[in-house]
């Protein structure tokens, strides 16, 4: 067993720079590929299929999407494609400036009654929704958004795509890999581990890998929090109507999560907090800002927009 292990170690030592560059490129490419080829990947994952057929984008939703693009001032050369999604919130991916463009999934629930009709079965987390029950009525109300709230939800996705933030979010993984490698090599040289037993170097490499993963997790989550806060403020600052719609949107999200918490019973308590936020799945990571914090941030923008300005 020592022979192959030593040969592998020698190979890594000889080609470590090329392996590092290839690994970084692979990590970056794996995270960005979803945005480089958004169509048909994203519609395939999130397309709304009522009665076994893919739902075409209704004229109402198409008009809403075009109105949002006009409000933001999207250049005519940027490519966007909208489709109807089964999710309760919009989804998006891509780069509008590239030939492949970007896609935005608009929830079918934005159509209102056709989706939440009592005769149409809806299953959430394996539980069928009874729209006539108190929990079902609360969920229906949470899915019923005003025109301003719908515009805020879509504008947030368009602003995100226009900013190219997806490329920025793909950087922490290769950056942390390079940092872990550089610090690991430097520390082993400083401690003289290259002249010591291989088992000691292997243990040190394991510790360095764990530290690198922790750094990656913390940096990724911090970047995501900053981007989400910026997106909310940027979208809400479009106008007072957008800010008002943003407050309503997050209030509805929280209300919908509380309805799902009641609908699912004990499993719902593990998914959503009593305030309507999503329970973090990892004990040391909070991947997204709490919805209450996002609502409060947009509320501040709305209040600032309504407050009289001094001449």
Domain with 261, as residue range(s), is: 34-170+221-306
Calculate ∠ Cα 244-250-120, nearest 5°. 110
193 found inside a domain:
no
Query: What is the distance, to the nearest Å, from the Cα of residue 70 to the centroid of all Cα atoms in its chain?
Result: 24
Q: What is the pTM of this model?
A: 0.89
Quickly state the pLDDT bin for 121 (edges 50, 70, 90).
low
189 found inside a domain:
no
Q: How many domains does the chain have?
A: 1
Coil/strand/helix, residue 231: helix
Inform me whether the pLDDT recorded for 113 exceeds 60.
no
19 found inside a domain:
no
- Residue 53: its pLDDT value, please? 84
Higher pLDDT, 57 or 11: 57
**Beta-strand relationship, 127-128 and 102-107:** unpaired
- Residue 308: its pLDDT value, please? 63
In this structure, what is the dihedral angle of CA atoms 66, 71, 73, 76, given to the nearest 10 degrees?
Answer: 20
293 found inside a domain:
yes
Which of 228, 247, 241, 224 has the alpha carbon at shortest distance from 300?
Answer: 247
Q: Tell me the CA end-to-end span of the chain in Å, nearest whole number.
A: 80
Instruction: Give residue for tokens 């939800």.
Output: 153
60 found inside a domain:
yes
Measured distance CA(170)–CA(104) in Å, rounded: 20
Compute the chain's Rg from CA coordinates.
Answer: 24
Cα diameter, the chain:
80
72 found inside a domain:
yes
Measured distance CA(262)–CA(135) in Å, rounded: 7
Measured distance CA(198)–CA(121) in Å, rounded: 61
Tens digit of pLDDT for each residue in 182-237?
888 888 888 787 777 778 878 888 899 999 999 999 999 999 999 999 999 999 99
Q: Who contacts 10 (Cβ-Cβ below 8 Å, separation ≥6)?
A: none
Report the run of H or E that residue 77 belongs to, with start and end. Answer: none
Quickly state the pLDDT bin for 91 (edges 50, 70, 90).
very high
Give the strand order in the sheet containing 102-107: 80-85, 102-107, 91-94
Instruction: Give residue for tokens 């075009």.
Output: 66
Report the run of H or E that residue 123 belongs to, with start and end. Answer: strand 123-124
197 found inside a domain:
no
153 found inside a domain:
yes
Q: Who contacts 201 (Cβ-Cβ below 8 Å, separation ≥6)?
A: 188, 193, 194
Q: Using the Cα atoms of residue 147, residue 149, residue 138 and residue 61 in order, give the sign of their dihedral.
A: positive
Neighbours of 223 (CB within 10 A): 15
Coil/strand/helix, residue 108: helix
Measured distance CA(95)–CA(161) in Å, rounded: 6
Tens digit of pLDDT for each residue in 251-303?
999 999 999 999 888 988 999 999 999 998 887 889 999 999 999 999 999 99
Measured distance CA(210)–CA(207) in Å, rounded: 5
Instruction: Give residue for tokens 């997106």.
Output: 231
Measured distance CA(92)–CA(104) in Å, rounded: 4
Inform me whether the pLDDT recorded for 33 exceeds 70.
yes
């Amino acid at each position: 067993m020592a022979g192959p292990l030593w040969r592998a170690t020698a190979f890594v030592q000889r080609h470590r720079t090329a392996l590092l560059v290839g690994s970084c490129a692979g990590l970056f490419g794996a995270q960005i590929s979803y945005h480089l080829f958004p169509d048909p990947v994203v519609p395939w994952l999130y397309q709304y299929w009522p009665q076994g057929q893919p739902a075409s984008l209704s004229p109402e939703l198409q008009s809403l999407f075009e109105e949002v693009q006009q409000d933001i001032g999207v250049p005519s050369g940027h490519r966007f494609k909208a489709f109807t999604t089964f999710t309760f919130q919009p989804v998006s991916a891509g780069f509008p400036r590239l030939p492949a463009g970007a896609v935005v999934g608009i929830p079918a629930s934005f159509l209102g009654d056709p989706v939440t009709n009592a005769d149409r079965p809806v299953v959430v987390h394996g539980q069928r929704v009874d729209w006539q029950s108190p929990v079902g009525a609360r969920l229906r109300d949470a899915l019923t958004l005003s025109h301003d709230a719908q515009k805020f939800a879509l504008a947030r996705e368009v602003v995100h795509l226009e900013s190219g933030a997806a490329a920025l979010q793909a950087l922490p993984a290769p950056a942390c890999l390079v940092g872990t490698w550089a610090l690991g090599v430097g520390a082993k040289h400083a401690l003289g581990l290259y002249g010591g037993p291989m088992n000691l170097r292997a243990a040190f490499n394991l510790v360095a890998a764990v530290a690198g993963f922790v750094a990656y997790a913390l940096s990724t989550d911090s970047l995501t929090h900053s981007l989400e806060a910026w997106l909310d403020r940027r979208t809400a600052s479009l106008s007072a109507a957008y800010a008002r719609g943003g407050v309503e949107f997050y209030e509805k999200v929280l209300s919908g999560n509380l309805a799902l918490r009641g609908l699912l019973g004990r499993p719902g308590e593990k998914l959503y907090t009593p305030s309507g936020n999503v329970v973090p799945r990892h004990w040391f990571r909070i991947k997204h800002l709490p919805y209450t914090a996002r609502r409060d941030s947009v509320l501040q923008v709305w209040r600032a927009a309504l407050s009289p300005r001094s001449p």
